[in-house]
Structure 1
Amino acid sequence: MTGDILLHDDELSENQSGKKTLDRLSISPLPKNDQLSDNQPVQKTLDGLSVSALPKVRTTDGFMLNWDRNIIVNQLLKETKLSEIFYAKPAITKEEAVDIAKEAEKIIRKMNIKFLSGPLIREIVNNILLDRGRVEWRNIMTRVGASVYDAYEIDSGYGFGANDNANQLNNAETSHKRKADKMSKEQNLLLMPKELADLHLNGDFHIHDLEYMGTRPFCQDWDLRYFFYYGLMPDGVGTQSSVAKPAKNAEVAFLHAVKAMGSAQTNFAGGQGFYNFLTFIAPYLEGKSEVEIKQLMQMFVYEMMQMMCARGGQTVFSSVQLSPGVPKLWKNIPVVAMGKVWDGKHAPLRTYGEFEKEVRLGFKALMDVMLEGDAWGKPFSFPKPEISLEPDFMQEDESFNEAHPEIPTYKELYRLTFELAAKFGTPYFDNQLPEYRGAGEGISCYQCCAYQFSANPTDDKEFDDKLHFKDGKHFSMGSWMVLSLNCPRAAYRAEYDDEKLFTELKTLMNRCVEVFKIKRRWMNSLIKKNRIPFASQCPKDPNTGEKGSMAVDFESLVYTIGVVGINEMVQYHTGYQIHESPVAYKLAIRAMFEMKMHAQKLSKENDMEIALARTPAETTAQRFAVSDLLHWEYAEKAEFTIKGDLKSAKKEINETHDLPIYYTNGTHIPPGADVSLPERIKYEHTFFPIVDGGNIMHIWLGEGKPDPEGLQELAMHIAKNTQTGYFAFTRDMTVCIDEGYVAAGLLDKCPKCGSEHVQHLSRITGYLQSVEGWNRGKRQELKDRKRYGTRELR
């Protein structure tokens, strides 16, 4: 049956030592006086009944075994021990295990079958467990995976997870990952309490990266100084990979940065980034010419875009925070490079402020490389350039400019980013000018698909030690996991009652914390077993020879609650969308404040930092809309708010769940809202100080090439006069596969050669990618987007 889940069995086998196994785990047979059959193919008597001998058992790992129900007993005794760990309920007793094994044998004998498999035996045992009300034992004993047909569909590029991640290609590695994902998602849902698993399955909330919930954290923003001091140990333990000493020259430093990002992808479910990238790598650029620096940046970008080594054979999902000069916070801080802290004690005193020239030249070189594009003229999707708009660089350093007239000014460097935005829409602008961002008092950055992370002296007692890399202490920012709330459904349940609406949202947040606690318990166990070796590595100090600092401070990682469909939530509740009525707008703000305050309360009560965020919702915005349309108690209400092609969705819903409908993500107003750009900014900027875990404002550009000067004027107006913390200008493009040519807009044919063999590029949630890999909900959103021309941008 296509799409079957959570109802599979597993194999039975026998190893060479004579021990019996199920799931290929060795089990010793019970003592001889406990034998329940003599395994001889002759007529036997069972409970006084004359029965025929059972056929041999065929196992999926290639063995033919004689029937022995002792294996069922042993497997029940062993596997149900997990009930104590995951459900806090006792394992099965030997007496009940024997009784179940006897019942299973009776059932099989009555079936009078000629073919007997391990999976069939397991399914019969599981049915008995369900009949006896032992759901937790059945969940643990059940088999996870896919039917042969489903597995074939995955291999063919269809079926499970086909459009869940636009960054994945259709290749053999992707097929392998999707099969593993299917098994892991089912496993993780079975191992958590049923009521929490049901909240995910029913669409009340969405557990992002469910396949990795039990094995790895979500995303990480790295302090590059760590690798410049300790060197590189890609496997985290040093036994399966070569261990490199700290980089001594520029080329090796860049390659270590590349490989650190790639290695981290094996330990994390989400994106990897480098905070303050240019400042930390600048000491390696000392004495280099502009040509040499550009070559190094070109190597870095191509390496990041050509390493098809990340999860499922995709490019490394990466980002770099870029400042056009050395931030004041870092000017007097000793350099960490070449295996030393250059503090005047361990090495001659050198501070980052000495490398202003190298940072500026590095910034220019990176922008030049990205402006050129690749050999076809395509933009580079990764590493995402996070352009930091900081107070430090809003005014020129006139003394430096006078002393170095050949080096670009801050304004000239920022101008390059807007030329890049006008040509490809590549940059993301991390606006640190608003007071709530705390620029200069601590550190803050956007990373991954628009998550915000920060550290400051008020909340971090070791902030100054980390700033100076004392005893290897460094900044470690990231997220453990992400859950998103189906906010429209909360409104459907509240039925126009404000307080009930807030209660519904807070109740969902409470349930999220329950999932977070499960994640924390599972991950603590894996960390102790060193199952996250790259992140938990403690390499040898290159100067003292002693054990160094751990790469990731797991205690500093946050737990993220995301919101989806705030616009549709207030639309159902008030009858108006956010931009249509002050009543709806105010309710959206009130609801977000209620959730933010509750997140702070939950953080204190549960000793975990919980952040509220606009999550990417590449799949979730569609999934929630489809789920509400599928549930009769919400369907009629959802039809009032759902965006996209509702008529087609209702017609096709019994055939597929990849439908052209969606909810508006985060706190945005709908992509297709017919409002001016100033109006869109006016509504959306209000939510940035509230959504402390990350947010983004999208400005969809028209097909004509916009004026870089106009973009720069608009961006600086947004940065200086609004609360917008993170924004991007998005260009739609068409790539001709035959000609290797890039054209503006979403075209059916190549304007150069007329070929219809084309692909379309645009920004899906927080990154540029091929439209062909998007689900139908996101492709419908692409059609609906309100785009703005150059005149409207001024």
Structure 2
Amino acid sequence: MQPKQQSLDGSLVVTMPQVRTTDGHFIEWNKEAIVNQLLKETVLCEKYYGITAITREEAQNIAKDVEKSILKMNLSVLSGPLIREIVNIKLLESGHPEWRKISTRVGTPVFDACEIDLGNGFEVNENANLQCNAETAHKKKADKISKEQYLLLFPQEITDMHLKGDIHIHDLEYFGTRPFCQDWDLRYFFYYGLMPDGNGTKASVAGPAMKAEVAILHAVKALGSAQTNFAGGQGFYNFLTFLAPYLEGKEYKEIEQLMQMFIYEMTQMMVARGGQLVFSSVQLSPGIPSIWKDIPAVYMGKVWNGLDSPLKRTYGEFEREVRLSFKALMNVMLQGDYWGKPFSFPKPEISIEPDFMQEDTLFNKTHPELPTYEELYTTAFELASKFGTPYFDNQLPEYRRSKGGISCYQCCAYQFSVNEEDDNEFEEKVLFKEGKHFSMGSWQVVSLNCPRAAYKANGNDNLLIAILKKQMDDAVKIFNIKKNWMNQVITAGRMPFITQRPKDPNTNKKGSIAVDLNALVYTIGVIGINEMVQVQCGCQLHESHIAMKLAIRVMTEMEMYAKELSVKHGMTIALARTPAETTCQRFAVSDLLNESYRKDAIRVIKGDIDTALRQRNMTRDLPVYYTNGTHVPPGANISIIDRIKAEHTFFPIVDGGNILHIWLGESSPDAKGLKEFAMNIAKNTQVGYFAFTKDLTICRNDSHVMPGLHNTCENCGSNNVEHLSRVTGYIQAVSGWNAAKKQELKDRQRYDPEHLRNKNTKSPEKKPSLQIQT
């Protein structure tokens, strides 16, 4: 009951209860605290919405109403959150929902928080790379708070579009604090050294590496440190070329040991967001690309140009070291870890380049002890045959090559490039002049629900394109919000690793900034182009020329419009197939739950529709999905040649990144045969990026590793097994996948070696379904 006090004249006086604050104190009730808090907090309305903040008089009236309501409750103690709830009710009653959006709390019910602690509840399988540990629970709670915060701060129309499933804002939990992904120029760290915290005050600062072991560790820690400032993957382009000077003269065994150290460091550091492995990749060429052969090497804190350093050393001098390190990296990955499992990271991006399609016969004759390009590529395909680990970055098609340009794939399939025509500092960056170097990455990704656009268009192709362009306009609104918020974050010094300017080891002056923020792109992703044309035409991409023709028209229109928006808004906008580990499911579930779209959605959604309809009121983790990007459905019963013919068409259009998935059967194809097949893809199609996926089973009982997906261990008979496969763009344990991805794993059309050899092969037979472990 509420405490009462007796006055001097004997009458009873009602007193306000004490307040238990969220910062850990008991204080006396003070109505003016509400007034002051409202005046302070609603200033954000002006900052984010352009709406006037509350006046003192209005705040005082709200505080009086709150006090009256509390008096009626007969409480002995108040909590800060309860007071805020009452304030929010009064703000809504006063007709100011915008003030309430700002003054409300973000968080989670106690029950939901407990579920997160136990590995259940909120987005439990949203990211297959996350582990079962306390850091993951902590991250999930933080994610929930951050997502609520940003959805409250967005204009209402943006929030509603995301929540309704018209669009998806990727990595929403990090929207207000960091960019998405980055491919790093390793020369930066070999010249300046390593400053993990970005400012040198919290962590020790290391000078430039002088030994190979230190160079490897600096590379590892640079990617790990970058995770604090980015939401997505981190990688190194041209990794072996830039590392090669540190390996000069070393014997193969020593180089292999260094490569082993690099791989184990990257796959044993549980230090990324939420206690996960660093999501990493390295672009690997079997030799020195021609663009770098005559360029002064950067290492040991010097640009070895003969002017600022004692000698002139060019990267072309280190062909031996690149060939040996490529071989070593492949061999270490072929061995697998101590149990024989494949390494998930760093993802090896094998660069198929014109420079290496013909042998350097003079070099091979002079160095017969070194592997040839053909032998090195064969080793990469041995790895693909055994584990499916490598990704192949095909730079042979004309659209992948530009005069004097560099290009790479990164993260789960994002493509970045820089060339002389677009960058007026290109030559200075190639030469590392005054510390200038390349920054390739993305600020933010927003994906579009393309099937829903088709539901709204109702068969009208022109209307469909207009709806999609409107969605792209909405994505740009989000990008502009991101740009504005990031400017505030940068001004506040909250991205120190990205904006660091280390001490130049030669001049002792501040060096160049780590990331050229103006060089980062904004990415618009497409989901469900196959289902979109299925709605419009009544047939899927692989079933009709009419459907393919419409898809090409739509994608071309979108790509051209992205260029228009880039010019109009002064930002580079790229169209991409996004990884969509959960987005393909989220869009399908949203349309299944919406009565306006359910009837149409049931006709085109992939997966187990019956189960999804039965369970839709119990869970959002349903076994249904849309086909990602411009792909043919995973379960399409067509030959691999027909799949490639359908999908390769879109690579030149989707300039922000795309991937061709080839799911292999249980048997391992011959490495040379697989290489021949892959090189035919590289030379004769527009496919810019592809991967061969192998399914594996690991016995938790005796650590035995088996090819294929099995319910019991062939070695000990135990059914305590874990399945491994490629979830989107990386290999991971299936138990951490959401229901849609597990269903997709069952649906995937797999191809055995015979299908890869025979170009005229008929559609493969479907394999019997398998119990996927949960």
TM-score (norm 1): 0.94
Contact between 2:3 and 2:14, CA under 8 Å: does it hold in 1? no
Q: Map 1:634-713; keep pairs closer than 5 Å.
A: 634-713=597-676
- Structure-1 separation of matches of 2:21 and 2:155: 31
Counterpart in the other structure of 1:557: 520
- Structure-1 separation of matches of 2:673 and 2:447: 36
Counterpart in the other structure of 1:230: 192
For residue 273 of structure 1, report the CA deviation from its aligned partner.
Answer: 0.4
Contact between 2:403 and 2:419, CA under 8 Å: does it hold in 1? no
Which among 47, 58, 83 is matched to residue 45 of structure 2? Answer: 83
For residue 737 of structure 1, report the CA deviation from its aligned partner.
Answer: 1.5
Counterpart in the other structure of 2:589: 626
- Structure-2 separation of matches of 1:716 and 1:383: 23
For residue 58 of structure 1, report the CA deviation from its aligned partner.
Answer: 2.1
- Structure-2 separation of matches of 1:672 and 1:195: 36
1:345 partner letter: L
Which among 415, 440, 445 is matched to residue 408 of structure 2? Answer: 445
- Structure-1 separation of matches of 2:675 and 2:553: 33
Q: Map 1:112-191; keep pairs closer than 5 Å.
A: 112-191=74-153
Matched residue SS, 1:481: strand
For residue 42 of structure 1, report the CA deviation from its aligned partner.
Answer: 4.2
- Structure-1 separation of matches of 2:6 and 2:415: 71
Q: Deviations over 1:585-610 (max 9, x none)?
A: 10011110011011001000000000
- Structure-2 separation of matches of 1:357 and 1:254: 18
Q: Deviations over 1:382-408 (max 9, x none)?
A: 000000000000000000000000000
- Structure-2 separation of matches of 1:606 and 1:568: 31
Which among 64, 73, 79 is matched to residue 26 of structure 2? Answer: 64
- Structure-2 separation of matches of 1:184 and 1:116: 26
Contact between 1:449 and 1:616, CA under 8 Å: does it hold in 2? yes
For residue 540 of structure 1, report the CA deviation from its aligned partner.
Answer: 0.7
Q: Does 1:327 align with 2:308?
A: no
Q: Does 1:429 align with 2:392?
A: yes
Counterpart in the other structure of 1:35: none
Distance 1:440 1:284, change over 3 A: farther
Counterpart in the other structure of 1:20: none
1:661 partner letter: V
Q: Does 1:475 align with 2:443?
A: no
Matched residue SS, 2:575: strand
Counterpart in the other structure of 1:11: none
Q: Deviations over 1:605-641 (max 9, x none)?
A: 0000000000001000000000001111011110011
For residue 436 of structure 1, report the CA deviation from its aligned partner.
Answer: 0.2
Q: Map 1:705-724; keep pairs closer than 5 Å.
A: 705-724=668-687
Matched residue SS, 1:102: helix
- Structure-1 separation of matches of 2:499 and 2:24: 39
Contact between 2:5 and 2:13, CA under 8 Å: does it hold in 1? no
- Structure-1 separation of matches of 2:14 and 2:627: 63
Matched residue SS, 2:649: helix
1:160 partner letter: F
Counterpart in the other structure of 1:314: 276
Q: Deviations over 1:330-366 (max 9, x none)?
A: 0000000000000010111000000000000010000
- Structure-1 separation of matches of 2:428 and 2:677: 39
Distance 1:221 1:43, change over 3 A: farther
Q: Does 1:520 align with 2:483?
A: yes
Q: Does 1:566 align with 2:529?
A: yes
- Structure-2 separation of matches of 1:575 and 1:305: 46
- Structure-2 separation of matches of 1:43 and 1:171: 55
2:703 partner letter: G
Counterpart in the other structure of 2:69: 107
Matched residue SS, 1:111: coil
Contact between 2:3 and 2:17, CA under 8 Å: does it hold in 1? no
Q: Deviations over 1:183-220 (max 9, x none)?
A: 00000111110100110000000000000000000000
- Structure-1 separation of matches of 2:94 and 2:534: 47
Alignment gaps of 5+ in structure 2: 758-774
Q: Map 1:771-782; keep pairs closer than 5 Å.
A: 771-782=734-745
Q: CA RMSD in A?
A: 1.3
1:247 partner letter: A
User: Relative to structure 2, which stretch is displaced further, 82-91 or 320-329?
Assistant: 82-91
Alignment gaps of 5+ in structure 1: 1-38, 45-49
For residue 644 of structure 1, report the CA deviation from its aligned partner.
Answer: 0.3
For residue 132 of structure 1, report the CA deviation from its aligned partner.
Answer: 1.9
Q: Map 1:447-466; keep pairs closer than 5 Å.
A: 447-466=410-429
Q: Does 1:582 align with 2:545?
A: yes
Matched residue SS, 2:652: coil
- Structure-2 separation of matches of 1:610 and 1:54: 57
Q: Deviations over 1:56-114 (max 9, x none)?
A: 12234432222111110010011111111111112111111101000111111123334
Q: Deviations over 1:741-785 (max 9, x none)?
A: 110111111111111111100001101000000000000000000
Contact between 1:324 and 1:413, CA under 8 Å: does it hold in 2? yes
Counterpart in the other structure of 2:366: 403
For residue 440 of structure 1, report the CA deviation from its aligned partner.
Answer: 5.9
Contact between 1:43 and 1:53, CA under 8 Å: does it hold in 2? no
For residue 655 of structure 1, report the CA deviation from its aligned partner.
Answer: 0.5
- Structure-1 separation of matches of 2:481 and 2:510: 31
Matched residue SS, 2:691: strand
Contact between 2:674 and 2:756, CA under 8 Å: does it hold in 1? yes
User: Relative to structure 2, which stretch is displaced further, 164-173 or 125-134?
Assistant: 125-134
Contact between 2:184 and 2:236, CA under 8 Å: does it hold in 1? yes
Contact between 1:390 and 1:439, CA under 8 Å: does it hold in 2? no
Counterpart in the other structure of 1:736: 699
Q: Map 1:36-75; keep pairs closer than 5 Å.
A: 42=5, 52-75=14-37
Matched residue SS, 2:604: coil
- Of all paired residues, the percent bearing the same amino acid is 67
Counterpart in the other structure of 1:266: 228
Contact between 1:565 and 1:667, CA under 8 Å: does it hold in 2? yes
- Structure-2 separation of matches of 1:141 and 1:60: 15
Contact between 2:4 and 2:13, CA under 8 Å: does it hold in 1? no
For residue 545 of structure 1, report the CA deviation from its aligned partner.
Answer: 0.6
Distance 1:308 1:181, change over 3 A: same
Q: Deviations over 1:502-554 (max 9, x none)?
A: 00100000000000000000001111111000010000100001110000000
- Structure-1 separation of matches of 2:5 and 2:302: 77
Counterpart in the other structure of 2:261: 299
Q: Deviations over 1:546-596 (max 9, x none)?
A: 110000000000000000000000001110001111111100111100110
Contact between 1:486 and 1:624, CA under 8 Å: does it hold in 2? yes
- Structure-1 separation of matches of 2:94 and 2:654: 48
Task: Point out 4+ residue stretches in structure 1 off by more than 3 angstroms.
Answer: 39-44
For residue 40 of structure 1, report the CA deviation from its aligned partner.
Answer: 11
Contact between 1:433 and 1:439, CA under 8 Å: does it hold in 2? no
For residue 226 of structure 1, report the CA deviation from its aligned partner.
Answer: 0.1
Matched residue SS, 2:629: coil
Q: Does 1:98 align with 2:60?
A: yes
Contact between 2:402 and 2:419, CA under 8 Å: does it hold in 1? no
- Structure-2 separation of matches of 1:758 and 1:550: 48
- Structure-1 separation of matches of 2:518 and 2:228: 20
Matched residue SS, 1:640: helix
Contact between 1:304 and 1:382, CA under 8 Å: does it hold in 2? yes
Counterpart in the other structure of 1:214: 176
Matched residue SS, 2:393: strand
Counterpart in the other structure of 1:537: 500
- Structure-2 separation of matches of 1:707 and 1:185: 47
1:423 partner letter: K
Contact between 2:447 and 2:526, CA under 8 Å: does it hold in 1? yes
Q: Deviations over 1:459-489 (max 9, x none)?
A: 0000000000000000000000100000000
- Structure-2 separation of matches of 1:461 and 1:572: 45
Counterpart in the other structure of 1:284: 246
User: Relative to structure 2, which stretch is displaced further, 106-115 or 228-237?
Assistant: 106-115
- Structure-1 separation of matches of 2:669 and 2:700: 25
Aligned residues: 752
Q: Does 1:767 align with 2:730?
A: yes
